[in-house]
Amino acid sequence: MPPSPLPPFALLRNPVRRYAWGSPTAIPALTGTAPDGTPQAELWLGAHPSAPSLLVTGDGDGNGNGNGNSGDGGDGAVPRPLDELIDADPDGLLGPDTVRRFGPALPFLFKVLAADRALSLQVHPTRAQAEAGYAAEQARGIPPDAPERVFKDRGHKPELICALGDFEALCGFRPAAATARLLDALGVLPSWAAALRTRPAEAVLPELLRAGLTADAAELAAVTGALRRAAEAGGPYGATCVAYARLAEEYPGDRGLLAALPLNHVRLGAGQALYLDAGMPHAYLRGVGVELMAESDNVLRCGLTPKHVDVDGLLAITSFRTGEPEVLAPHPTGRDGEEAFASPAEEFGLSRLRPGAAAVRVDLATPQILLCVSGRARLRAPGRAELPLPAGASAYLRPGAGPVELTGPGAELFRATTG
């Protein structure tokens, strides 16, 4: 018997991931739930098998009046894991074109990320590097859950983060001369500064990354002390040194602090975004944002973590290009109330919608997820009940079911779809 037909859209119930760096209040504030005193780091929207969203189906329209994170969604609807529904009917849930392009799985993972302290400094591989690394670790018999296992799958993991308020990150290597000036101002690591001035950065930076991750305790203590003094003094490097001094407090004795010194310190405002491609070292420091990525677990860590750091593997996949990262602003798409963020990723695209009282048409050519971050929106399909989307609520929109309409004066939503 073929799978039961699904409505064009249905409410999602989304799991919360609890990591030590998470905020105990930001995600509850968004979703309208009570904080429980524990860090809530990420809200996952998607079909990742380790924590899939639940699709509220069963009564025809997925209608409900909550934010989708508790209860059964209303009207007797039965929540079902999105990955299981896709497995049972990939063409119906993803569309034949998406299945041809990416296989029978949702190719992106959408998140709300809420950081009160820094995430680990990390790099993601290219697809070719991931395939080679996965094959090598399989051949060596490294268990999937072993702490030294790096390549969990064969995929790459480009990602895009859009700030919902003030947001800080480290992202890519700053120009060599700028790092040399920072080290001069701190009065530390003079050999690093000299090398950056006299040799090509792409030759020097791998050496500095290895030196930082293998530095002795005295050198790390000297740099930490200099950063704290500079943070207190202010001046042209004050904000950057405050961020690094905070890292030293959050991860005492972690050599990832030295590995992070050559990276750009970036501050985003609400609606600004960063695109992070393979090989780019980065760490999110604090703030709340929506994050969209290809669905992969492949991460090589550079420090700021108690987890395994594979220095040789890290050097093999890191891009040592220098320059200031591009801060993205959304650009109009030509559709009323919608702006998109530029992204070269095939697996995903992110846009922001600000519908008014007049209905905005949402085409359903590809699978997509809508997340309301403020105000109250409403989805409507001809001949079907409406689906309210208050702040914190999200919906899965099935491709091939015809266009639907979105309204919501004062509401702000983000739309995740394929690239």
Residues designated catalytic: 301
Considering all CA atoms of the chain, what is the largest pairwise distance in Å, rounded to the nearest integer? 73
Q: In sequence order, what are the residues at sequence separation of 6 or more whose Cβ sits closer than 8 angstroms to the Cβ of residue 324? A: 172, 174, 175, 264
Q: In sequence order, what are the residues at sequence separation of 6 or more whose Cβ sits closer than 8 angstroms to the Cβ of residue 78? A: 56, 57, 58, 72
Query: 38 near 18, Cβ under 8 Å?
Result: yes
Query: 370 near 405, Cβ under 8 Å?
Result: no
- Residue 227's SS3 state is helix
Which residues are 80's β-sheet partners?
A: 55
Rounded distance between C-alpha atoms, residue 52 and residue 13, angstroms: 9
**Could you tell me how far CA 147 lies from the centroid of its own chain?**
22
Rounded distance between C-alpha atoms, residue 165 and residue 112, angstroms: 12
- Residue 362's SS3 state is strand
- Residue 402 gets the label, from left (phi > 0), alpha (psi -120 to 50) or beta, of left
Rounded distance between C-alpha atoms, residue 382 and residue 386, angstroms: 9
Rounded distance between C-alpha atoms, residue 320 and residue 72, angstroms: 49
- Residue 132's SS3 state is helix
